[in-house]
Structure 1
């Protein structure tokens, strides 16, 4: 585990002990993207295990409109058994401002939702007279920052391997991991991977198509 990331273990413990068993805290070491989960508390909430990889870092954190000052707060996802999880993630940086990891807080909303539903059932129903507009905006000023993180994840995923000696299957597996984690949703990452693996952009796209066809069958 990276020494900077390791310093956040007491914080994870105190958050979990303060807010109880429905609050899970997960620490990621992003210097090892494929096995980024290095510490968990109350992992019965989502079932996260040490040695697993990140799931929501790209789509719900880096690409979120709410991502600012190195954190994204209060996004939601469902567990495999249908429970709604409220989540927040903050990046961990070293003294040189390099991203080293992330700390995630996952709250099982089941008990809260049940209580709210019960209390709501006791109140008179108020009609909804109009749509609830959601403002849409795009903050392009942070894209350089996001690209820096994505490029670092790419570099860590490929590692220091001699790409000239990599078999085609090994390159496809790396691309499959990055595609699964949403890295290719970020502008410029296809070009970065092509450059790192010493293949063309067309080849990267063909590998992605091959991966989608293989894993979407059935």
Structure 2
């Protein structure tokens, strides 16, 4: 099937799922958000949203979870019932279900987020009353928002190699590791992300492309070349 026909097929799948997004959110009420993503445009991937758990709107960007799916390409799989939290501390139970066309290529995702903060607090209270409370598990934070640059910034800034020291203090091996990890998380699947990461790290655009090229030397996808 040629590319225009595949795009028409993908558009039809997304159109068919728009009422499903509304139905999921209506069924579970105000603690639920359903988001439909078209990964053909990562920086504006949200094509339908119902509910307001993460505050995203149509035309908004994917989260780092979406970038992770992009990085895996057609090898991506559904991620069901995982727990994360937003920057403001809201605890979410989420599922990300990938969308494939008739060739098996991943082109989008249907995501469901449930705000389980109140449930978690009630569980902790009951555990304390019963004397069975345990130390809370560390839940990873995920940046949700309509600005793809903010998502990229959060991924870069939260990386252990960046959190504990400056770019200048990293040796060559750790610099390559940073770019390899960012690439593996799908950061460089977004347009102009290499330039944005370069600015965030305080290095030149040419240096960023050099490190990305070196990180991809043995394997990896085609670089986001200038």
Q: TM-score, length-normalised on structure 1?
A: 0.56
- In the alignment, structure 1 segments of 5+ residues that lack a partner are 129-146, 159-172, 200-218
2:76–2:98 Cα contact (<8 Å) kept? no
Following superposition, the deviation at residue 46 of structure 1 comes to 0.6
SS of 2:13's partner is helix
Is 2:222 the counterpart of 1:192? yes
Q: What's 2:104 paired with?
A: 97
Q: Deviations over 1:114-169 (max 9, x none)?
A: 221222122133789xxxxxxxxxxxxxxxxxx9xx7xx94xx56xxxxxxxxxxx
Following superposition, the deviation at residue 176 of structure 1 comes to 4.5
2:14 to 5, 28, 33: 5
Q: What's 1:175 paired with?
A: 194
Q: Distance in 2 between matches of 1:69 and 1:34?
A: 19
Following superposition, the deviation at residue 175 of structure 1 comes to 2.3
Following superposition, the deviation at residue 52 of structure 1 comes to 1.4
Is 2:115 the counterpart of 1:108? yes
Is 2:66 the counterpart of 1:47? no
SS of 1:193's partner is coil
1:122 to 129, 132, 143: 129
Q: Distance in 1 between matches of 2:128 and 2:56?
A: 34
SS of 2:113's partner is strand
Is 2:94 the counterpart of 1:87? yes
2:44–2:60 Cα contact (<8 Å) kept? yes
Q: TM-score, length-normalised on structure 2?
A: 0.54
Q: What's 2:78 paired with?
A: 71
Residue 45 to residue 176, structure 1, CA distance change in 2 (3 Å) = farther
More helix by share: 2
Q: Distance in 1 between matches of 2:134 and 2:194?
A: 49
Q: Distance in 2 between matches of 1:81 and 1:62?
A: 26
Residue 193 to residue 69, structure 1, CA distance change in 2 (3 Å) = closer
SS of 1:12's partner is helix
2:33–2:50 Cα contact (<8 Å) kept? yes
1:5–1:100 Cα contact (<8 Å) kept? no
